[in-house]
Amino acid sequence: MKKIILSVAFCLGIATINAQTKEELQSQKAEKQAAADALQAEANAIQAKIDALPGWTKGAFGTIGGSISEFNNWYSQAVANNSSGNIGFTVNGFANLNQEKFFWKNSANINLGWVKLDNKDIATDNEDFQQTTDVFNITSLYGRKLSEKWAASALAEYRTTVLSNFNDPGYLDFGIGFTWTPIENLVVVIHPLNYNFVFSKGDSVFQSSLGAKIVADYTRQIGPISFKSNLSMFQSYESSNLSNLTWINSFSYTLWKKIGVGFDVGIRDNKQEAVNFEQNRLNDLPMIPAGTETPSFENIDNDLQSYWLLGLSYSF
C-alpha cells in the first residue's frame, strides 16, 4: 500500500514539475520575444537614419514562382496525356545617392514568365516553353534640392520587353519639373514638360508626343517585410489615345533567412498597344473575315492589362 501511495505521489510530483517547467518556458519565451521585437524596432529606426545619411543606399528583392506536372490517361480532362509547367520571376532593385544639395535615384523592375503544355497525343504541337510575361522598366531621377521636401528634377524612364520584340515598342520618357517627398520612402515626380519617345519597327500605330509625366514610388522594408509600389503615368497633350499608365506592386515576406513568400501584381492602360495587338492578330490569320474593320483608336476595345505572380521570394 505504501508503495502504491509513493508511486502515485511520485507521478503527481513529476506532472507538477513538468507543468511548472512548461509554464516557465512559455513565460521565458514571451519575455525573449518581447525583447527581440523591441531590438528589431530599434534596428529599423537606426537603419532609417542610416538611409537618410549622405551616400549610396542599394538593395533588391525578387519573387520566383513555378510548377511542373505530368498526366497519363487522365480521362476526366480534355488533354488526357500531357506534361505542363510554368515559371516566372521578378526582380526589384534600387541604387540611390543622397547628398546635401542633390539626390540621384535609380530603380529597375523585371518580370519574366514562361509556360508550356505538351499534348503527348499530338506529335506536331509545340513542346517548348512559351513566353508569357515580359516586363522591363528602368528609371533614373536626378533632383536638385530646393527645400526639405521639394527639388527641381529631371527624369529618364525606359520601358520595353526583352524576351520578344525588344524595343518594339519601347518607351523612353524624358522630362523636367519638380519632385516632392512628403514623407519618408515616398517620392512623387511632377513633370509638366515631358516627351514620350515611342520606338517601333515598320509601319505601326505608335506615335511619340509631348505631355506631362507623373510618377509615384513608395519603397519600404519593415523587418521581414519588403514592399514596393510604383505608379507611372503619361498624359499626352496631343491626344488621350497616346497616353499610358503602368502600376506595379511587389510584396515580399521573409520566413527563413532571406527566403520567403512574394506576391507581384501589375496593371497597365495603353491604347496604342491594344490597337497594335489587334492588328497583329488579324495579320496572323490565314484569311481576314469579310467586313472586318481595320483596327483603330475609334473601334478598338482598350481593356485593362494585368498580371500577378505568387511564389517564393529572395531578398538580396
Percentage of the chain surpassing pLDDT 70? 88
Three cell numbers, residue 257: 533567412
pLDDT above 60 for 141: yes
Band of pLDDT at residue 47, cut at 50, 70 and 90 = low
State the average pLDDT over residues 28-35. Answer: 78
pLDDT above 60 for 88: yes
Three cell numbers, residue 169: 515598342
What is the structure's pLDDT at 300? 85
Q: Mean pLDDT check: name the lowest of 37-51, 69-83, 155-169, 267-281.
A: 37-51
Tracing cell 495587338 back to the chain, one arrives at 277
Express each pLDDT in 235-263 by its tens digit.
Answer: 999 999 999 999 999 888 888 877 888 88
Could you list the beta-strand ranges (E) of 120-146.
130-145
Three cell numbers, residue 66: 513555378
Q: Mean pLDDT check: name the lowest of 27-36, 105-114, 260-269, 296-305.
A: 27-36
Q: Work out the angle at residue 105's Cα, subtended by the Cα atoms of residues 102 and 111, and round it to the nearest 5 degrees.
A: 175
What is the structure's pLDDT at 20? 58
Express each pLDDT in 144-173 by its tens digit.
Answer: 999 999 999 999 999 998 887 888 889 999
Distances (CA, A) of 252 to 47, 246, 309: 19, 20, 12
State the average pLDDT over residues 104-113. Answer: 90
How many CB atoms are located within 10 Å of the residue 303 CB?
8
pLDDT above 70 for 2: no
DSSP state for residue 289 in the 8-state scheme? P
The CATH code that applies to domain 54-315 is 2.40.230
From the number of C-beta atoms within 10 Å of its C-beta (0-12, 13-18, 19+), residue 66 rates as: middle
DSSP-H helix ranges across the chain: 2-52, 271-283
